Structure formats: C-alpha cells, structure tokens
Copies of this chain bind each other. A is one copy, B any other.
C-alpha cells in the first residue's frame, strides 16, 4: 500500500534515508538452506557503491553489508533476512543552504506535497542510496537464480548519444561506464569527465539480458513478466522508459516482419524479447531502459522555495555526471527480484 514493498513470494521491504542512520532491507521468502555470505552480497554492493572511478560521485560509502537475521551457520533459515548498511560519509550540512529550495529534477517538491513534511537532507527515500537495500536483496535472488541456471547481465548501451557498436560481455566490468563496447566506453568516459568539469550531466540507455529462463515463466494477465519487469525498472529513480525486444521499433514494423517464426530448434528470431503473452519463451529476455541525466548539476538553475518565491539554485553536493554505470547493478538486482519471485509463484501454482 505505502510503496516500500516489492514482490509476492520473494518479497522485500526497504527502509532508510540517504542521510539517516542506515538504509537496509528485509527479504522474506528465501529458500531455506540457501547458502549466503555477506561477502557474496558485498560483491554486488561494491559494484553499486559511489567512488569507484573518475565517473562516479566521490561520496565514499563503505556500504558494508551486515546481515542481522534469517541466517544460521551460513544458510538462510527461510525466515526474514534483515540486511543493514550504515550511512557514514553524509555531509548533511552541504544541504542546509538549499533546504528550502526545490532542486530541479529532484523529488523535493513532490515529497513535500505528498507528505506535508520532508527530510531535506539528501533526498531521503528518493535518493539513489535507497537502492542499496535492493542490491543486497538482488544478490540473494541472484544466488538462487544461478542454481536454477539463470544468468542476468546489464550494461551501458549508450551514454550522451554515444552508442555501443560491438558487444563483448568480458569488457563490461572492465571499463568505468560498464559499456559492452570498449571503444565506445572510452569516448563515454571522456564525455563524462568533460561534463563533470562543467558541472553538467547526461543520460543513457542500459540494456539487460536474462538467459536460462525456461519457457513458461510469468503470470497472466496483470503480472506478466514484462509488466513486472517494467514496474521494477520504473521504480528506479532515474529511469524514464523501458522497451522489450524490438520495443519502440516494433511500432514501425509489419506483422510479417515482427512475428518470430519457429522451427525445430525453437524461435528463429527474438523480436519478442523472450516474452509472449507475458510468459517467457525460453529465448533470451532482452530489455532496454532509458536513464535520464542526473538531476544534480552545478550549472545555475531556476527554481522556487517553499514559499513560492523564485530563487536561483546551484546544487553543489557530490554526484554522478551519469548514473548509468552505477544503475547497472541496480537494474540487474531488480531483474533478479522479479525472476526469483516468479519462479516461486510458478511453484505455488503447480503445487
């Protein structure tokens, strides 16, 4: 009801604010006996954390994973696992100057309108920091999915208009922007470094591929795999769009071009992006998300304050010129949550 819970059979609830004491998550529905270590979760957390490279915010968060409950002798007990990440390098004072201003592109105005009260430090629950709990939960879902033979990989496909033209999975984690094309990656890094100097930011496109899902996963009619993935992705702050398979290009195709034929070996093409009628076809599930340029920029902007008076604003803070590299593990995490949930729901249906 109040929006902080996701999933049904594999369910998470996140808590915590950007500049509060901690952020974290409760995960309920983990298969009992699943082996989980803080170190495994930390691997994913480190991919999301700030301060990784020249293209990410210099805010330092140790983002140290701490499991509080739901584990016994290295195995999930099947009861709620609470994972907490304490906040350290907060510098809330950086926000005192702008505490009464509505930062353009941020949720300051809408949160105040919704709640009538607002924690002005950082962005409270609307901060990207909230996603740390999702990544922790996603790491656990991923562990389970791996045992099911499912793999999930996301990567930057485009940043600031620069598109990847080759696809190599090995290079993704080896460049600062998590692009699938090392040549494009270099251009992207340069672009971002330039924008950082100007105090500006840019958007991009992240693509995700999910492999190993057998045909038949997903619930019609409202909880289609693509519907749930779309919700999952749009629940990430900076995401403004999603498309599956041929996506918006399908709008310009004929039926005779778009329909994926089948032969003995399965589907001949994959315009559907691995999903038909909301249910997995067994082909790769492919989708792309549109990521908006980071809202926090130090270019002067115009806004109003809580009294409605017009005011110039320059957001100092420490921010990512492009959020793409750090959103990649969040997208993967959300995809993992959706899939693990649907595997469990499928088991319930057939039980």
Contact = CB atoms under 8 A, between A and B. Distances in A.
Interface of A: 1-6, 8-9, 11, 13-17, 20-24, 26, 28-29, 31-33, 68-70, 72, 75, 77-82, 84, 102, 104-107, 109-111, 113-119, 123-126, 130, 158, 160-161, 195, 200-205, 214-224, 226-235, 237, 240-248, 250-264, 268, 272-273, 275-282, 290-297, 299, 301-304, 308-310, 343-351
B262 A109 contact: yes
Contacts of A70: 15, 17
B109 A349 contact: no
Given A203-B252, A258-B293, 9 more contacts: A5-B13, A77-B118, A205-B248, A227-B232, A231-B231, A240-B246, A240-B250, A246-B292, A250-B293
Contact of A2 (B23, B29, B214): B29
Contacts of A351: 9, 31, 343-344, 346-348
B29 A349 contact: yes
Contact of A348 (B295, B304, B344): B344
A131 to B, nearest CB: 9
A32 B195 CA distance: 39
A83 to B, nearest CB: 10
Nearest to A256: B299
A222 B338 CA distance: 12
Nearest to A344: B348
Contacts of A125: 77, 79, 220-221
B350 A31 contact: yes
B234 A240 contact: no
Given A222-B235, A293-B253, A111 B277 contact: yes
A241 B15 CA distance: 30
**Most chain B Cβ neighbours within 10 Å, of A72, A233, A302:** A72
Contacts of A20: 68-69
A2 B110 CA distance: 28
In the assembly, how many copies of this chain are there? 4
B258 A292 contact: yes
A259 to B, nearest CB: 4
Given A33-B117, A218-B110, A251 B290 contact: yes
A264 B345 contact: no
Contacts of A124: 72, 77, 79
Given A231-B230, A263-B310, A276-B106, A349 B78 contact: yes
Contact of A15 (B82, B117, B123, B223): B82
Contacts of A299: 255-256
A118 B281 CA distance: 15
Nearest to A159: B251
Contacts of A106: 276-277
A267 to B, nearest CB: 9
Nearest to A83: B15
A220 B79 contact: yes
Contacts of A258: 105, 203, 292-293
B302 A105 contact: no
Contacts of A345: 1-2, 9, 348
A14 B251 CA distance: 28
Contact of A201 (B6, B254, B277): B254
Nearest to A12: B222
